[in-house]
Structure 1
Amino acid sequence: MLTKRKVLVAITARPSYSRIRTTLQALAQQPNVSLQCLCSGAALSDVHGRVADLIRQDGFTVADECVTLVPGNEPRHMAYTTARTVEQTTTYLEQYRPDWVVTIADRYETLGTAVAAAYMGIPLIHVQGGEITGNIDERVRHAVTKLSDIHLVANQQAANRLMRMGEHPDRIFVTGCPSVDLARAARELPLAHVEEAIRSGAQGHSINLQEDFIVVLQHADTTEHQSSYQHMRLTLESVRRTGLPYFIFNPNSDAGSAAVTRAVEDFLEEGKAGVCCRVNNLEGKLFLRLLAQSRCLVGNSSVGIRECAFLGTPVVNLGDRQRGRERGDNVYDCSWDAKALAQALRKQIQRSYGGSQIYGSGYSGELMADIIAHLPEPTAKCFHEAGEE
Structure 2
Amino acid sequence: MTDSRRVAVATFGRSDFSILRPLCRLLDADPGFESGLWVGGAHFEDVSGRTVADIEASGLSIWARIDGGTYERSPRATVEMMATQMRGFGAVAAGQEDTGVQTTGPRPDLLLVLGDRFEAVAAGLAMVPMGVPVGHISGGSITEGAIDDVFRHCLTKIAAVHFCDLPRFAQRIQHMGEPTDRIFTTGALGLDACVNADVRDFDAFAAHHGFTGLRPGFVLATLHPESRHPEVTRPMAEGMAAALGDSGRQVVYTYPNADPGSDSVIDVIETAAASPERYCVRGFGSDWFPTAMAHAGLMVGNSSGGIIEAASFGLPVIDIGERQKGRDHGPNVIHCNRDRTAILEAINTATDPDFEPFAAAPNIYGDGRGAERVMAALRSLDWSAIAAPKRFADPEPGFLGSLMEL
What's 1:372 paired with? 378
- Which of 327, 330, 334 aligns to 1:328? It is 330
Return the alpha-carbon distance in structure 2 between the equivalents of residues 88 and 23 of structure 1: 24
How do 1:320-359 residues align onto structure 2 when only pairs under 5 Å count? Answer: 320-350=322-352, 351-352=355-356, 353-359=359-365
Q: Residues 296-354 of structure 1, C-alpha deviation per residue, up to 9 Å, x if partnerless?
A: 10000000000012222100000110011110000000111222111100111233323
Deviation at 1:268, TM superposition (A): 4.4
CA contact (8 A) 1:183 1:285 kept: no
State the aligned residue count.
380
Identity level (%): 27
Query: SS of the counterpart of 1:222?
Result: coil
Q: Which is worse superposed, 127-136 or 218-227?
A: 218-227
- Which of 234, 239, 260 aligns to 1:234? It is 239
Deviation at 1:187, TM superposition (A): 6.3
When the two chains are superposed, the root-mean-square deviation of aligned CA atoms in Å is 1.9
Q: Residues 250-309 of structure 1, C-alpha deviation per residue, up to 9 Å, x if partnerless?
A: 11100001111112233445xxx3311111121224112211221110000000000012
- Is 2:130 aligned against 1:120? yes
Return the alpha-carbon distance in structure 1 between the equivalents of residues 174 and 35 of structure 2: 29
Return the alpha-carbon distance in structure 1 between the equivalents of residues 140 and 221 of structure 2: 27
How do 1:46-65 residues align onto structure 2 when only pairs under 5 Å count? Answer: 46-65=46-65
What's 2:99 paired with? none
How do 1:85-234 residues align onto structure 2 when only pairs under 5 Å count? Answer: 85-95=85-95, 96-134=106-144, 135-186=146-197, 188-199=199-210, 205-209=212-216, 212-234=217-239
Return the alpha-carbon distance in structure 2 between the equivalents of residues 387 and 329 of structure 1: 31
Query: SS of the counterpart of 2:289?
Result: helix
Amino acid at match of 1:149: A
What's 1:294 paired with? 296
Q: Residues 192-239 of structure 1, C-alpha deviation per residue, up to 9 Å, x if partnerless?
A: 44224312xx6xx53123xx3111111111112233222111101110
Deviation at 1:73, TM superposition (A): 2.7
What's 1:7 paired with? 7
With the length of structure 1 as denominator, give the TM-score of the two structures: 0.93
User: What are the ranges of 5 or more consecutive residues in structure 2 without an aligned counterpart?
Assistant: 96-105, 400-406
Amino acid at match of 2:61: T
What's 2:366 paired with? 360
Deviation at 1:110, TM superposition (A): 0.7
Return the alpha-carbon distance in structure 1 between the equivalents of residues 289 and 339 of structure 2: 28
User: What are the ranges of 5 or more consecutive residues in structure 1 without an aligned counterpart?
Assistant: none
Query: SS of the counterpart of 1:336?
Result: coil
Query: SS of the counterpart of 2:315?
Result: coil
Query: SS of the counterpart of 1:277?
Result: strand
Deviation at 1:97, TM superposition (A): 1.8
Query: SS of the counterpart of 2:228?
Result: helix
Query: SS of the counterpart of 2:196?
Result: helix
Cα distance change, pair 193–363 in 1 and its aligned pair in 2 (3 A):
farther
Return the alpha-carbon distance in structure 1 between the equivalents of residues 204 and 57 of structure 2: 17
How do 1:273-292 residues align onto structure 2 when only pairs under 5 Å count? Answer: 273-292=275-294
Return the alpha-carbon distance in structure 2 between the equivalents of residues 6 and 113 of structure 1: 17
Amino acid at match of 1:318: I
Q: Which is worse superposed, 98-107 or 56-65?
A: 56-65
Return the alpha-carbon distance in structure 1 between the equivalents of residues 314 and 321 of structure 2: 21
